Every structure is written in C-alpha cells, then in structure tokens.
Amino acid sequence: MEAFRLAVETWGADILETDARLTSDGEVVLIHDTTVRRTCDGEGTVAEMPWNRLRALDAGYHFRDLTGETSFRGNGVSIPRFEEVLEAFPETRLNVETKCREVAQPLVEIIRRHGAQDRVLIAAEVEAHRREVRGYGGPWGASRRDIALFWGAGHLRLSAWFRPRFDVLQVPEVWYGIRVVTPRFVSEAHRLNLAVHVWVVDREQDMRRLLAWGVNGIQTDRPDVLSRVLTQGAGRVPPPESPGPDH
C-alpha cells in the first residue's frame, strides 16, 4: 500500500500493476511470490497461510531503498487484500496478474461487486490461471502463449490474419536474449487495436526510446524517473505533489 500511495499521490501513476494470490481461508491478497520469505519477516507459502497470520507479517522487512537502507522495516507495512486497494484508489486503474488458478474466480467476484470491471485488467502469464473467468467483461492481458503467437505471426508476416482474444500485450523488451519489442512489433499491435505495455523499464534512456516507438504503457519500479521523462518529453503536467522534473 505504501508503494501504491507513493506511485499515485506523489508521482501520478496512471495504473498500478500487482499480483494476486489466495490465502488458505479464501482472501485475495496482493503478493508476487509463492512464499513470503523474500519480502517478509517470516516463512511459509501464501496458499497455506490464513489471512490473520499473513497480515501480521512485516512486508517491508527486506526492502532496501536507493541508499541501501531498510527504510520500511518496522513501519507497519503489511500485505494488502485486493479489496483494500480497490477501495483506497477508487479512480485508479489496476493491472492484476492471477498467480494461481484458485484466485481467478474470487478476484472477479470482488471486481464485479465493486463495479470495477472498466478499470481492472486481468493478466496471466499462464492461461490456465484464469481460464475459469474467460467471460470477464473487463480488459484482458495477453498470456505468454498469446504473446508467442502474436510474435510468431509478425515474423512470418501473418499479422493481418491474426485474431487476438486479448486487449493488451504486456511484454519485456528482451526475453532470454530474444528481442520482443521493436517499432514494427508496436505498429503491428496498433494495427490490430492492441495496446503495448513494456516491463520492467527503469532506465531513462530506455523509457525515452520506447515512448518514441509508440508504446502505450511502461511498467517501472522508478515512477520518479518515468514521471520526469513524461513531463519533459511528452508534455505531461507534473504531478501536484512531486518535487518537480529537475529533482
């Protein structure tokens, strides 16, 4: 929640990207890893932990800021429930990746209960993780299989016959040494009315190059850098609470 608040309130992020898993007692929580070891002061697998145990962990325990300090340790940072984030940021769009099959249906039920289908994109690396909610009416991200098919169609010059069942291509610029994103990749996607989001881009020069190629979104761990790039290079109005484009 602390990272989300800073991204939205200080740097004016348009979309929050996150990952959803299900606790042992059925709560939809936002955490990337299968276990809590890398980020929290504890051990255990998320799917085998009840919500009351998970929320008691210090989720800022291992985080280090740009100076190397554990600046969030002991400050009450906890793993949030998805519903908390929907309510805390009612005007913000969310990009949520389903990290396991079990979380898809509860996730969609929460979205529908809040009437948030127009602002929550459901993503999945593996299609099986969201197959049960295929009829979801909101935006749909391309799975790894979808991306491979689109990339292959482009290289075989068959894009004109490609019929996507998704709205957004969310891709790394390079994947295991294979270049994914090129100006042609972006233009082919746009021709099919598909948006292109690239992850994870933290260097200013990469942001500027990708924006020049016409990508629609950049996923970054450095919203401070991206905010400056957009203000200086794209004429975006600086966020009201940011230190300004030169800081």
User: What band does 225 get if pLDDT is binned at 50, 70 and 90?
Assistant: very high
pLDDT in tens, 183-219: 999 999 999 999 999 999 999 999 999 999 999 999 9
CB proximity list for 246: less than 8 A, separation 6 or greater: 228
Per DSSP, the three-state class of 15 is strand
pLDDT in tens, 82-128: 999 999 999 999 999 999 999 999 999 999 999 999 999 999 999 99
Mean of the per-residue pLDDT values of the chain:
95
Q: Is the pLDDT of residue 242 over 70?
A: no
| Per-residue confidence (pLDDT) for residue 160, from 0 to 100 | 87
Least confident of 45-49, 87-91, 126-130, 243-247: 243-247
Alpha carbon distance 211, 229 (integer Å): 10
Model confidence, pTM? 0.93
Q: What is each CA distance from 234 to 88, 131, 230, 237, in whole angstroms? A: 28, 38, 5, 9
| Per-residue confidence (pLDDT) for residue 239, from 0 to 100 | 82
Per DSSP, the three-state class of 204 is helix
Q: What is each CA distance from 98 to 118, 141, 238, in whole angstroms? A: 17, 11, 32
User: What band does 245 get if pLDDT is binned at 50, 70 and 90?
Assistant: very low
Eight-state DSSP code of residue 115: T
